[in-house]
């Protein structure tokens, strides 16, 4: 009896841990979001959102592809990285924006221009962006 109860608890725990949220973007928390001024560089952690002066928001979603050569490694090719953002104009619907380093670091986002300045390496990369009017 105890063995089957333990097995049931383990299975339930494993199943709840495997619940997938892939492809979903969590709405940013209004109170914890910082506002970024036009032309100001800002670092963002994955999942973090910033507010623009017109009420639009930009969320750093993920790095779906990164083939860049890591630091202190000699590579034949430098590689590149796609960085996924969700841009939501004030009162509008979110759209996906995917700049690429180093090929296309700048993308239009509504009335703004997003430029990726830097992307760190690792499991939890940070991105530094500049958003211009």
Which string of DSSP letters, residue by residue, matches 72-92?
Answer: T---SS---EEEEEEEE-TTS
Give the tens place of pLDDT for each residue, 80-133: 999 999 999 999 999 999 999 999 999 999 999 999 999 999 889 999 999 998
Beta strand 100-101 with 95-97 is unpaired
Half-sphere exposure of 18 (CA within 13 A, CB side): 6
With pLDDT > 90 as the criterion, what percentage of the chain qualifies? 65
| Stronger pLDDT, 7 or 31, i.e. the higher one | 31
Question: At 78, is the pLDDT very low, low, confident or very high (cuts 50, 70, 90)?
Answer: confident
**Distance from the Cα of residue 17 to its chain's centroid:** 22
31-132 CATH fold: Tick-borne Encephalitis virus Glycoprotein; domain 1 (2.60.98)
Question: At 18, is the pLDDT very low, low, confident or very high (cuts 50, 70, 90)?
Answer: very low
């Amino acid at each position: 009896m105890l063995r089957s109860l333990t097995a049931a608890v383990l299975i339930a725990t494993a199943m709840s841990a495997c619940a997938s949220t892939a492809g979903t973007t969590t709405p940013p928390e209004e109170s914890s979001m910082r506002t970024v001024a036009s032309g100001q560089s800002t670092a963002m952690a994955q999942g973090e959102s910033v507010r623009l002066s017109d009420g639009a928001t930009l969320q750093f979603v993920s790095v779906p592809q990164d083939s860049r050569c890591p630091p202190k490694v000699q590579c034949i090719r430098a590689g590149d990285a796609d960085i996924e953002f969700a841009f939501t104009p004030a009162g509008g619907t979110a759209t996906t924006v995917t700049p690429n380093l180093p090929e296309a670091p700048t993308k239009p986002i509504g009335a703004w221009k997003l430029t990726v300045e830097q992307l760190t390496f690792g499991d939890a990369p940070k991105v530094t962006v500049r958003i211009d009017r």
